[in-house]
Amino acid sequence: MEEEYRLKVSHVYKSFPGVQALKDINLAVRKGTVHVLCGENGAGKSTLMKIINGIYKADIGGIEIDGKPVQIKNPIQARKLGISMIFQELNYVPEMTVEESLVLGDWPMTPLGTVNWKKIRKDVVDILEKEGLNYSPTTKLKELTVSDVQMLEIIKSIANNANIFIMDEPTSAITNKEVDRLFDKIAELKSRGASIIYISHKMDEIFKIADDITILRDGETILTDRAENFDIDKVISLMVGRKLGNNYPKETVEIGENILEVKDLYSEDVFNKCSFYARKGEIVGFAGLMGAKRTELVRTIFGIDKHSSGEIKIKGQVKNINSVADGINNGIAMLSEDRRRFGIIPCRSVRENVSLASLGKFFYNQFWHKGTENKEVRKYCEKMNVKTASYEVSVDTLSGGNQQKVLLARWILESPDILIMDEPTRGIDVGAKFEIYKLMTDLVKDGKTLIVVSSELPELIGMCDRIYVMCKGSIAGMLNRDEFSQETIMKLATGTITM
């Protein structure tokens, strides 16, 4: 019996200036299944999904839905055809309310031609109650966490009653409890015959929910097969085209004097009195559950947020850090967890994004030395292995992983003494993760100090010298490398034990 396919993509090609993004791509998604798409950043996954969603137009190739050829010219048409896409990068309007966000693009109208706000309020309240979310419909998105906004995007997609769901790294910014809720939703969608195209770099997720797996590499289809015919090693090997060996290239580095000392740092209604230190050549990790206030603490150290009391010492001297400029001037840089909102400048080129924090280095006697800027940008982009056709293309044409590398290049060019990395490998494939881990090792060998906030415990255990664990806005304990274990970290994070 011939398989019933919800979606078929045949012999698709797509190029951008200087780059062949997709070459003869074929994809067949069965009805009522989860089809996982795997590949390194830049392999073409997001480009293919944007073609299916009508954002890009294929140069060559065809698409069929339920056996019928279709021409998808834009996202509105895609939605009418039953396609719904959840993007990896959260493109939301911070000033928009929850209810405005959930009905965006599909405003119910009254017979008089005005927006039916009464119906919107009722529908949104029903949705929020059904999903167990304690938000007010009038809450602005800027007041929510990245995790909250991601869950709203997922709920909005499900509420559209589509038959084809494209989920691009949907769990990159949500808690384990929310992941379980999402997987329950996916099972519910499958039971009614919907098909899900699921992009993820998290190997444990892939084998929990996948029915079929397709591997892309360098814009080409490498292999499609049933999930039971793969294992983690096979997927990684096909993705990167090579064996990575040790996933965490941690090296023993000589630890020097205290570079950063934080004493009784307090922010009213955010985090309690927090004290910790970080030394030269050291990677210090911060673990904790979502809402533990790790991000808020490191944002305060960098100068993004204000603190109520306490002191920050750098190289033994008390510093008043009340702004990002203060942080940078004191040798601190920060890679934000939300690279779209606090990192890249989407309308600017790769070159401009890399050199942004170091412009003073390229001006002599009031003249801009473009040649010097180009040389330095190229040097650090090559060091980061940024994949781009040109350093003059807009940074938002790059994959999420390459955008992360651009931000790393920006801060390494600035040469800070202290680099704060908040979820540095979120949404990044295993190959790119390995490159970032090697970079982290190189930085501490050069005498830099790294502070790493991560929700991935194996990452912290694999790369850190010490780990501080936060629970409900307080530091619950500190572990040296020989004390690391996921069980102990989770007990501290949940408040089961204290130190």
Lowest mean pLDDT among 212-221, 314-323, 404-413: 404-413
Count of Cβ atoms closer than 10 Å to residue 359 Cβ: 11
Residues 6+ apart with CB under 8 A from 65: 6, 7, 81, 82, 83, 164
In the block, residue with structure tokens 């049933």: 226
Residue count of the chain = 499
The number of helices, as runs of H, and strands, as runs of E, in the chain is 17, 22
> Backbone phi, then psi, for 450, in 5-degree steps?
-115, 135
Neighbouring residues of 292: CB distance < 8 A, sequence distance ≥ 6: 470, 471, 472, 473, 493
Confidence of residue 1 (pLDDT cuts 50, 70, 90): very low
SS percent in the chain: helix, strand, coil, step 5: 35, 25, 35
418-430 confidence digits (pLDDT tens):
999 998 887 676 7
**What does the pLDDT read at residue 90?**
66
Strand 212-217 relative to strand 34-38: parallel, antiparallel, unpaired?
parallel
Name the least confident of 145-154, 155-164, 332-341, 471-480: 145-154
Q: Contact 90/153 with Cβ under 8 angstroms?
A: yes
Amino acid at 20: Q
Q: If 0-12 CB within 10 Å is exposed, 13-18 middle and 19+ buried, where does residue 438 land?
A: middle
More confident residue, 320 or 170: 320
Residue 415 corresponds to which tokens in the numbers above?
Answer: 């040469």
Question: Using one digit for the tens of pLDDT, what is the confidence trace for 389-412?
Answer: 889 988 988 877 788 889 888 988
β-strand partners of 470: 475
What 3-state class would DSSP assign to 70?
strand
Least reliable range by pLDDT among 123-132, 271-280, 281-290, 428-437: 428-437
Q: Name the percent of the chain lying above pLDDT 70.
A: 96
* Beta-strand relationship, 68-70 and 60-65: antiparallel
Tens-place pLDDT, residues 100-119:
988 887 788 888 889 899 99
114-146 confidence digits (pLDDT tens): 989 999 899 889 888 887 778 889 999 888 876
Q: Which residues pair with 368 in a beta bridge?
A: 363
The Cα–Cα gap between 481 and 463 comes to 9
The two most distant CA atoms of the chain are separated, in Å, by 76
Under the banding of pLDDT at 50, 70 and 90, the label for residue 20 is confident
Name the more confident of 482 and 340: 482
Beta bridge mates, 86: 167
- Range with the largest mean pLDDT of 160-174, 236-250, 479-493: 479-493
Residue 4 has pLDDT above 50, yes or no: yes
pTM of the model: 0.64
